[in-house]
Amino acid sequence: MATEDDFTSFHASSFARLVGQVALVTGDRHEAEDVVQEALARASVRWSRLRRYDVPEAWVRRVALNLAANNARHRRRRRAALLRLGPPAPAPAVDVTDVALAEALRTLPMTQRQALVLHYLVGMPVKEVAATLRVPSGTVKARLHRGRRALAAQLDDEEVETRHAGA
């Protein structure tokens, strides 16, 4: 318990100071808080060894600075990849019925959602849905039936039937 109390004291006394130092390096206080917190989490599992260091805070600082440098490298690579890809295609306008459908789907069990999305939205035949989900075709049909019934109870029955007929 004394080791845990030691670390709690160390954390309390060093967190703000380390965040201030790392924020000057990163230019972003939120990122500094994240990397210092991660460095302190790593220190906590090594605390029995680190507490014997002359300056355990130096170890945490080095880890935080390494994490910040890794984050910067990751952002640079991501930015370069995004530049190579070019601007994204324009996103289609969101239809209110799509939002309502997505909300209604979230209330269903995962198995029904999978069957409904693969069959009606992706356009897979029942046999292909069954193969994808590794279940018998009869199971897919039952999930589709139950899912449609549950959606009809939540959404306007006419909307569900329209979507069902169009698929």
Model pLDDT for residues 120-129, shown as the tens digit of each residue: 888 999 999 9
Residue 103 in domain: yes
Contacts of the segment 67-76: beta carbons below 8 A, 24+ positions apart: 67/35, 67/38, 67/39, 68/22, 68/25, 68/26, 68/31, 68/32, 68/35, 71/26, 71/31, 71/35, 72/26
Residue 91 in domain: no
pLDDT value of position 164 = 55
Specify the pTM.
0.55
The CATH code of the domain that includes 140 is 1.10.10.10
Q: Note whether 151 and 103 are within 8 A (CB).
A: no
Compute the distance between CA of residue 82 and CA of residue 47 in angstroms, rounded to an integer: 40
pLDDT at 155 over 90: no
Residue at a domain's end among 85, 115, 144: 85
**In terms of domains, do 30 and 60 share one?**
yes
Assign residue 123 a region (left: φ > 0; alpha: ψ between -120 and 50; beta: otherwise): left
Residue 127 in domain: yes
**In terms of domains, do 70 and 11 share one?**
yes
Query: Where would I find the H helices in 27-55?
Result: 29-45, 47-50
- How many structural domains comprise the chain? 2
65-109 pLDDT, tens per residue? 999 999 999 999 999 998 898 888 887 776 666 788 888 889 999
**In terms of domains, do 28 and 68 share one?**
yes
Least confident of 55-64, 72-81, 152-161: 152-161
**In terms of domains, do 79 and 7 share one?**
yes
SS3 136: coil
pLDDT value of position 46 = 95
Note the residue count of the chain.
167
**Average pLDDT rounded to a whole number, residues 14-21:** 97
**In terms of domains, do 129 and 62 share one?**
no
In the chain, the amino acid numbered 117 is V
Residue 41 in domain: yes
**Owning domain of residue 77:** 2-85
Residue 90 in domain: no
**In terms of domains, do 73 and 133 share one?**
no
- For helices 126-133 and 137-154, give the axis angle rounded to 10 degrees: 100
Using a pLDDT cut of 90, give the percent of the chain over it: 69
* Highest mean pLDDT pick, 1-5, 133-137, 161-165: 133-137
pLDDT value of position 12 = 96
Compute the distance between CA of residue 145 and CA of residue 23 in angstroms, rounded to an integer: 55
pLDDT at 27 over 90: yes
**In terms of domains, do 75 and 113 share one?**
no
